[in-house]
Amino acid sequence: MEQTNKGLSGNQLKLIAMLAMTVDHFTSVIWPDYPRDWWILLLHIIGRMAAPIFWFMVAEGYHYTRNLKKYAGRLLLFAVIGHFAYNFAFGIPFVPLKTGVFNQTSVMWPLFLGVVGLYTVERPELTQWQKTLAVVALTLLAFPGDWSSIAVLAILEIGQNRGDFRRQMTRMMLWVAMYALIYALFIDPVYGILQLFAGLTIPLLKRYNGTRGAGRGMKYLFYLYYPAHLFLCGLVRILLYGNVGVMVGGQ
CA angle 191, 197, 203 (to 5 degrees): 170
What is the tens place of the pLDDT at every residue in 221-238? 899 999 999 999 999 999
Mean pLDDT of the chain: 95
pTM above 0.85, yes or no: yes
Q: How far apart (Å, rounded) are the C-alpha atoms in residues 167 and 202?
A: 12
pLDDT band (50, 70, 90) for residue 213: confident
What is the tens place of the pLDDT at every residue in 82-99? 999 999 999 999 999 999
List own/partner pairs for 82-86 with CB under 8 A and 24 or more apart: 82/106, 82/107, 82/108, 82/109, 82/226, 82/227, 82/230, 83/108, 83/109, 84/227, 85/226, 85/227, 85/228, 85/230, 85/231, 85/234, 86/146, 86/230
The pLDDT of residue 74 is 96
Give the residue, 102 or 2, on which the prediction is more confident.
102
The pLDDT of residue 215 is 73
Is residue 3 over pLDDT 70? Answer: no
Measured in whole angstroms, the distance separating CA 194 from the mean position of its chain's CA atoms is: 16
pLDDT band (50, 70, 90) for residue 11: very high
Give the residue, 116 or 212, on which the prediction is more confident.
116
Q: How far apart (Å, rounded) are the C-alpha atoms in residues 194 and 200?
A: 11
| Closest C-alpha among 157, 207, 205 to residue 177 | 157
